[in-house]
Amino acid sequence: MRWFWIDKFIEFESGKQARSIKNVSLSEEHLHDHFPGFPVMPCSLIMEGMAQTGGILLGESHKFKYLVFLAKVPKFKSHRPVRPGDQLIYTATLTDAREEGGMTSVVAHCGDELVAEAEIVFAHVTEEDAGIPKGVNQKNVVEVGLAGVLAESGINE
């Protein structure tokens, strides 16, 4: 499994706002355990999709100079269960970006309906602090995993 919880970006305004899509599918294996006979997308994964949208927005605002780590979720509210067949649209707004990290406010909609909202704080860390090998960073993820979809959507980085 690849840890991508967004399928593509549909809007990307550098340093301000990004919108992405996640199509929820019954082929996702975890949905059959969560819950048997009543598949619901786990809120933790909705949060992850929100964090990926907001984290890439923050990372790009510094030209991916920093490693962006999800540090804290001060607020998360779910308004209704998200089920297979739903298309989530995450809208992340960068509310603060500075040398040490940043903060985003993210909402998730299905159509016009608000299904979840969150505030997410990110910290900038070094590769050493993060304990990960050199060269693995968010830019790679964007280039390898998401650049294709960004290009496909006709959105320039």
Q: Is residue 127 a contact residue for another protein (CB under 8 A)?
A: no
Cβ-proximal residues to 143 (8 Å cutoff; 6+ apart), any chain: none
Q: Which of 16, 72, 77, 79 binds another protein (CB under 8 A)?
A: 72
Q: Is residue 128 a contact residue for another protein (CB under 8 A)?
A: no
Residue of 117, 90, 104, 21 whose CA lies nearest to 60:
104
Known catalytic residue at 109: no
What Cα–Cα distance (Å) separates residue 50 from each residue in 20, 36, 133? Answer: 9, 25, 25
Minimum distance from residue 70 beta carbon to another protein (Å): 10
Q: Are 96 and 103 in contact (CB under 8 A)?
A: yes
Beta-bridge partners for 22: 88
Q: Which of 96, 113, 127, 152 binds another protein (CB under 8 A)?
A: 96
CA 121-149-136 angle, 5° bins = 55
Q: Is residue 125 a contact residue for another protein (CB under 8 A)?
A: no
What Cα–Cα distance (Å) separates residue 25 from each residue in 91, 94, 98? Answer: 20, 29, 37
Minimum distance from residue 104 beta carbon to another protein (Å): 11
30, 34, 79, 109: the active-site residue: 34
Q: Which of 99, 126, 131, 156 binds another protein (CB under 8 A)?
A: 99
Q: Is residue 21 a contact residue for another protein (CB under 8 A)?
A: no
Catalytic residues: 34
Q: Would you tell me which residues interact with another protein (CB under 8 A)?
A: 71-72, 74-75, 95-96, 98-101, 103, 121, 123
